[in-house]
Chains A and B, each alone.
Chain A
Amino acid sequence: MALYGEARDISLFRTINRELMGNIISQECIYYKYRLAETKVNMYGEAADGRYFFDPVILNCLIERQDQEYPESDLGVDFQWGITFKFLRDDLLGKNPCIDNQPDNVYGANLVPEVGDVIMYQNGYYEVDNTNANQFFVGKNPDYPFLDDEGNNPLETDLANFGSSISIICQTHYVPGDRYNIQRQRL
Chain B
Amino acid sequence: MGALFFHIYNQNIMANIPIWPGSSSFHPGDTPFGFYDYDSDFQKDADKVANFCALRLGYPIENVELQDINFYAAFEEAVTVYANELFAYKQREEFLTLEGTPYSYENTNVDLQNAIITPNLQRIVDLSEQYGTWAGVGGNVDWYSGSVVLTSSIQDYDLDAWATSQGLTGSDVEIMRIFYQGPPAIDEMYTPYAAGFGFDGDAAAFAFMGGGYGFGDNFLMMPLSYDMQTIQAIEMSNDVRLSNYTFQLINNKLRIFPVPGRDDDGCNLWFEYMLKSDEACASVDVDPNAISNISQVPFRNMDYNGINSVGRAWIFEYTLALVKEILGYVRGKYTQVPIPGAEITLNQADLLSSAEADKNKLIDRLREYFESTSRQSLLERRQAESVARNSELGEVPMTIFIG
Chain A contacts to B: CB under 8 angstroms: 4, 7-17, 19-21, 23, 33, 54, 61-62, 64, 84, 86-90, 92-94, 96, 98-100, 110-112, 135, 137, 142-144, 160-161, 164, 166-169
Query: Does any Cβ of A come within 8 Å of B65's Cβ?
Result: yes
Q: Inside 8 A of A15's CB, which chain B residues have their CB?
A: 17, 19, 63, 65
Closest to A165 in B: B9
Query: Does any Cβ of A come within 8 Å of B124's Cβ?
Result: no
Q: Inside 8 A of A169's CB, which chain B residues have their CB?
A: 340-341
Q: How many residues of B contact A (CB 8 A)?
A: 30
With A and B bound together, what is the CA distance between A161 and B341 in angstroms? 22
B13 touches A33 (CB 8 A): no
Query: Does any Cβ of A come within 8 Å of B337's Cβ?
Result: yes
B341 touches A135 (CB 8 A): yes
Chain B contacts to A: CB under 8 angstroms: 1-2, 4-6, 8-17, 19, 62-63, 65, 330, 333-334, 337-342, 344, 346
Q: How many whole Å from B363's CB to the nearest CB in chain A?
A: 30
Q: How many whole Å from A99's CB to the nearest CB in chain B?
A: 3
Q: Inside 8 A of B10's CB, which chain A residues have their CB?
A: 142-143, 160
Q: How many whole Å from B60's CB to the nearest CB in chain A?
A: 10
Q: How many whole Å from A127's CB to the nearest CB in chain B?
A: 18
What are some 8 contacts across the A-B interface (CB < 8 A)? A9-B333, A13-B337, A19-B63, A20-B344, A93-B11, A96-B14, A166-B339, A169-B340
Closest to B15 in A: A7
A14 touches B16 (CB 8 A): yes
A93-B6, A110-B1, A110-B5 given; A17·B346 CB < 8 A: no
A98 touches B12 (CB 8 A): yes
A62-B341, A86-B340 given; A8·B15 CB < 8 A: yes
Q: Is the interface of A mostly helix, strand, loop or mixed?
A: mixed
B16 touches A11 (CB 8 A): yes
B6 touches A166 (CB 8 A): no
Q: How many whole Å from B379's CB to the nearest CB in chain A?
A: 55
With A and B bound together, what is the CA distance between A54 and B334 in angstroms? 39
Q: Inside 8 A of A7's CB, which chain B residues have their CB?
A: 13-15
With A and B bound together, what is the CA distance between A33 and B15 in angstroms? 27
Q: Inside 8 A of B12's CB, which chain A residues have their CB?
A: 98
A167 touches B1 (CB 8 A): no
With A and B bound together, what is the CA distance between A132 and B2 in angstroms? 22
A15-B65, A110-B4, A143-B8 given; A166·B340 CB < 8 A: yes
B14 touches A98 (CB 8 A): yes
Q: How many whole Å from A126's CB to the nearest CB in chain B?
A: 16
With A and B bound together, what is the CA distance between A16 and B62 in angstroms? 10
With A and B bound together, what is the CA distance between A166 and B8 in angstroms? 15
B340 touches A94 (CB 8 A): no
Q: Inside 8 A of A94's CB, which chain B residues have their CB?
A: 1-2, 4-6, 11
Q: Inside 8 A of A87's CB, which chain B residues have their CB?
A: 340
Q: Inside 8 A of B346's CB, which chain A residues have their CB?
A: 16
Q: Inside 8 A of A17's CB, which chain B residues have their CB?
A: 337, 339-340
Q: How many whole Å from B309's CB to the nearest CB in chain A?
A: 36
Nearest 8 interchain pairs by C-beta: A167-B340, A99-B16, A86-B340, A7-B15, A11-B17, A86-B341, A96-B11, A166-B338
B11 touches A33 (CB 8 A): no
With A and B bound together, what is the CA distance between A13 and B10 in angstroms? 18
Q: Inside 8 A of B15's CB, which chain A residues have their CB?
A: 7-8, 10-11, 99
Closest to B8 in A: A143
Closest to A112 in B: B4
With A and B bound together, what is the CA distance between A13 and B339 in angstroms? 8
Q: Inside 8 A of A142's CB, which chain B residues have their CB?
A: 9-10, 13
Q: Inside 8 A of A161's CB, which chain B residues have their CB?
A: 13
With A and B bound together, what is the CA distance between A7 and B9 in angstroms? 13
B5 touches A20 (CB 8 A): no
Closest to B16 in A: A99
B6 touches A62 (CB 8 A): no
A137 touches B338 (CB 8 A): yes
Q: Inside 8 A of A98's CB, which chain B residues have their CB?
A: 11-12, 14, 16
A9 touches B5 (CB 8 A): no
Q: Inside 8 A of A19's CB, which chain B residues have their CB?
A: 62-63
Q: Inside 8 A of A21's CB, which chain B residues have their CB?
A: 339-340
Closest to B334 in A: A9
With A and B bound together, what is the CA distance between A88 and B19 in angstroms? 19
With A and B bound together, what is the CA distance between A163 and B377 in angstroms? 60
With A and B bound together, what is the CA distance between A10 and B339 in angstroms? 11
Q: How many whole Å from B384's CB to the nearest CB in chain A?
A: 56
Closest to B12 in A: A98
Q: How many whole Å from A166's CB to the nearest CB in chain B?
A: 5
Q: How many whole Å from B355's CB to the nearest CB in chain A?
A: 19
